[in-house]
Amino acid sequence: MSKPTAGEYDFIIIGGGIAGASIAFELSLSKNILLIEREDAFAYHTTGRSAATYIELLHNRTIVALSRASKGFLNNPPSGFTDIPLLKRCGCIITANITEQHSLESAFQQAIGYGTEAKMISAQEISKRIPFIRTEPEVIFAGVYEPQAQHIDVDGLFQGYIKGIRARGSHTHTRTSILEIKRSDGYWHLQTSKHSLRSPVLINAAGAWADSVAEAAGATPIGYEPKKRTMITFDAPANVDISAWPMMGNISGSFYFIPEAGQLIGSPADETPSPPCDAQPDELGVATAVYNIEQHTHLQISKINSKWAGLRTFAPDRLPVVGFDAGTEGFFWFAGQGGFGIQTAPALAKLGAALALERKETEVAKAVGIDLTLVLPDRFR
Ligand SMILES: Cc1cc2nc3c(=O)[nH]c(=O)nc-3n(C[C@H](O)[C@H](O)[C@H](O)COP(=O)(O)OP(=O)(O)OC[C@H]3O[C@@H](n4cnc5c(N)ncnc54)[C@H](O)[C@@H]3O)c2cc1C
């Protein structure tokens, strides 16, 4: 076998968020990988801005299957991956007012149908767990409770992936901008701000920029839609222990809040279309979060401790896109992780790696419990 030339890799992965890092980790078990990130630090964009939860309620069958197939890894990561637990049980309640009972019942039936542990609870039962909720039927009438919803240590998961990639002998570059991408002689040739690189396969894990990377490589874009979501933190009520509160949101998707390290993280659950960018919170998003949380509870948010926004990037059918592009040789899609990219990362990365290595991918899909055709890029072609 000829020795690879300098700057040559089996796979070059563009995008140092959870998507790029997780698939790089899986592939680096047997291949020489380069993971490229444009920013000064990995996980600077969406991955570093998530709500850090594992929830099955309200997700479709494919996302539930990918999440559940990830739980083994999250509960019991490979040896040496991390010293800290990646999951901590918090539970989650989705509420409805009296006019939304039908939607709540459908969400409950769907969850049960997918095998999620869930139960219907009354407003009075919810108020035993979160005493500050409003229990008028036109505000909160009932809820679905998912006791096994979890908080995810995203930093622990992400750093475990990066450490693992390096320990397996593969490479990671930050502060690397791609100036040109060309295909010739069975290779992608990348000119970056620092290096000339080549690889037979280019993995597009560029999150909100996935379509831009495709265009630069001459591939047809998928039509991804980045959507901005706003987050705030605020103090818990004085002298109230919130550590056992579950996460709570509503079925119409106008707010949620999560206890975290003595304060509350809140969101208006917004989905504002945005171009790919360094998303920033705006006044309307913050004010809507405050208003909607106050409308559903007796919490008074007099001071915002911090605020941020991130882009959740969806393919038109809101499922991830994983696999080789049929029209562009050696171009592999791994983007569209929407609002579920952390909780699905381990299983999606294993599936992505199997597809990229052209190994028994249908067996992996079967093991994960998904219909592979629903995630392949061919569905848009
Ligand atoms: C507010 C919010 C709450 C969320 N809550 C949850 C949750 O509770 N649970 C959950 O599972 N998921 C959640 N998500 C979703 C999750 O965070 C995303 O699905 C996931 O982080 C997407 O990861 P990614 O790697 O695809 O994108 P990113 O993390 O954005 O990574 C893509 C990277 O590609 C880089 N890049 C782009 N173009 C180039 C280029 N040309 N050259 C080099 N690098 C490039 C970017 O700089 C970026 O760092 C949430 C998201 C948000 C915004």
Cα separation, 316 vs 374, in Å, equals 12
Mean pLDDT of 115-120: 98
The answer to whether residue 258 is domain-embedded is yes
Does residue 4 carry a pLDDT above 70?
A: no
Residue 148 backbone dihedrals phi, psi, to 5 degrees: -90, 10
Ligand 1 pocket check: which of 47, 232, 265 to mutate, most ligand atoms within 8 Å of Cβ?
A: 47
Which atom of ligand 1 is closest in space to residue 21's alpha carbon?
25
Confidence grade of residue 1 (pLDDT, cut at 50, 70, 90):
very low
Q: Please state the three-class secondary structure of the chain as a single string.
A: CCCCCCCECCEEEECCCHHHHHHHHHHCCCCCEEEECCCCCCCCCHHHHCCCEECCCCCCHHHHHHHHHHHHHHHCCCCCCCCCCCEEECCEEEEECHHHHHHHHHHHHHHHHCCCCCEEEEHHHHHHHCCCECCCCCCCCEEEEECCCEEECHHHHHHHHHHHHHHCCCEEECCCCEEEEEEECCEEEEEECCCEEEECEEEECCHHHHHHHHHHCCCCCCCCEEEEEEEEEEECCCCCCCCCCCEEEECCCCCEEEEECCEEEEECCCCEECCCCCCCCCHHHHHHHHHHHHHHECCCCCCEEEEEEEEEEECCCCCCEEEECCCCCCEEEEECCCCCCCCCHHHHHHHHHHHHCCCCHHHHHHHHCCCHHHCCHHHHC
180 and 44 in a common domain: yes
Give yes or no for residue 194 having a pLDDT over 90: no
The reply to whether 231 and 372 lie within a common domain is no
Nearest CA to ligand 1 atom 4: 50
Distance (angstroms) between ligand 1 centre and the Cα of 24 equals 15
Is there a domain that residue 66 lies in?
no
Is residue 173 domain-resident? yes
Q: What percent of the chain has pLDDT over 70?
A: 98
- Residues 142, 231 within the same domain: yes
Compute, in angstroms, the gap from residue 264 CA to the centroid of ligand 1: 22
Is the same domain home to 196 and 132? no
Question: 353 CA distance to ligand 1 centroid (A)?
Answer: 19
Residue of higher predicted confidence among 359 and 348: 348
Do residues 229 and 303 share a domain? Answer: yes
* Same domain assignment for residues 111 and 174: no
Return the number of other C-beta atoms located less than 10 Å from residue 191's C-beta.
14
Task: Give the end of a domain, one of 278, 294, 314.
Answer: 314
pLDDT digits over 157-191, tens only?
999 999 999 999 999 999 999 999 999 999 999 99
Answer for the pair 341, 206: CB distance below 8 angstroms, yes or no. no
- Looking at the structure, tell me whether residues 304 and 323 fall in a common domain: no
Q: For position 143, which CATH number holds?
A: 3.30.9.10
Res. 6 pLDDT band, cuts 50 70 90: low
Cβ–ligand 1 distance for 192 under 6 Å, the answer: no
Nearest protein Cα to ligand 1, atom 13? 339
My answer on whether 161 and 280 are in the same domain is no
Strands 196-199 and 187-192: antiparallel
* Mutation pick for ligand 1 pocket among 49, 50, 73, 94 (CB with most ligand atoms within 8 Å): 50
Q: Does 278 have pLDDT greater than 80?
A: yes
Domain that holds residue 269: 92-147+225-314
The answer to whether position 82 is within a domain reads no
Same domain, 233 and 369: no
Expressed in angstroms, the distance from the first to the final Cα of the chain is: 37
The CATH code of the domain that includes 214 is 3.50.50.60
Verify whether ligand 1 is closer than 6 Å to residue 310 (CB atom).
yes
53: exposed, middle or buried (Cβ count in 10 Å: 0-12, 13-18, 19+): buried
Distance CA 75, CA 54 (A): 12
**How many A from CA of 4 to the centre of ligand 1?**
31
Does 264 reside within a domain? Answer: yes
Atom number of ligand 1 nearest to Cα 39: 47
- Tell me the per-residue pLDDT of 13-37, one tens digit each, with 9 for 90 and over: 999 999 999 999 999 999 999 999 9
Q: What is the mean pLDDT of the chain?
A: 96
Nearest to 229 by CA among 295, 132, 314, 145: 314
Residue 270 domain flag: yes
Residues 343 and 232 placed together within one structural domain of the fold: no
pLDDT band at 2 (very low <50, low <70, confident <90, very high): very low
pLDDT at 230 over 80: yes
Nearest CA to ligand 1 atom 35: 15
| Res. 366 pLDDT band, cuts 50 70 90 | confident
Give per-residue pLDDT as tens, 69-78.
999 999 999 9
292 in any annotated domain: yes
Local confidence band at 5 (pLDDT 50, 70, 90 cut-offs): low
> What is the average per-residue pLDDT within 297-304?
97
**What residues form DSSP beta bridges with 266?**
232, 257
**What is residue 111's predicted lDDT score, i.e. its pLDDT?**
98
> Which of 295, 314, 333 is where one domain is finished?
314
**Domain stop point among 280, 297, 314:** 314
The verdict on residue 3 lying in a domain is no
Asked whether residue 327 falls in the same domain as residue 201, the answer is yes
pLDDT band at 368 (very low <50, low <70, confident <90, very high): confident
Q: How remote is the CA of residue 119 from the centroid of ligand 1, in Å?
A: 31
Total domain count, the chain: 2
Determine the pLDDT at residue 137: 97
